[in-house]
Amino acid sequence: MQLCIMFGMFYPQEAKGAMTMYCTQCGSKTSAGVQFCAICGQNVQATMQNDQRDRREFPFWIVGALVGATVGFLTRPAAFLVGQLPFGIVITGGSTLRGLDSLFVPVAQRSLGQMAAFAIIGGFIPAIVRKLRTRPESK
Ligand SMILES: [Zn+2]
């Protein structure tokens, strides 16, 4: 259905919801769900996918995830006596710690977990913001 809306401008919709599309190569009619154009053999599905890829927005979620991970890292829990652990130890979850240092493994794992959680939250924020901004203004 979303596809119908997306391509509605280019591929006029026919009655009863059946979608008629036109081959991007030769312009002849093809029906939705058909892989190749019957006239010229153009791969219609592939063209549609490319179209979608080109139209994809800038990946704000990656920026959000990076910001989230940074905030998560900066606010990571402090270990007893030594304070916040360095990035190299946090990112490996403390797996490189040996001997007495392995006491800090739980803190390293908690720090890593917090970074991951913040990254996930950060990744969702742009989508939420966009949803709020594009919400049709009723009333
Ligand atoms: Zn064709």
92-110 tens-digit pLDDT: 999 999 999 999 999 999 9
Instruction: Say if residue 44's pLDDT is above 50.
Output: yes
Distance (angstroms) between ligand 1 centre and the Cα of 57 equals 28
The mean predicted confidence, pLDDT, of the chain is: 81
Task: Please determine, for residue 111, whether its predicted confidence score (pLDDT) is greater than 90.
Answer: yes
Q: Which of 54, 69, 53, 45 is nearest to 122 (CA)?
A: 69
Percent above pLDDT 90 for the chain = 46
pLDDT of residue 72: 96
Query: What pLDDT is stored for residue 5 in this prediction?
Result: 44
- Closest to 115 (Cα-Cα) out of 104, 107, 125, 103: 107
Please state the domain extents for the chain.
2-53, 60-133
Those residues whose beta carbon sits under 5 angstroms from the ion ligand 1 are 23, 25-26, 37, 39-40, 42
Q: What are phi and psi of 43, to 5 degrees?
A: -75, 100
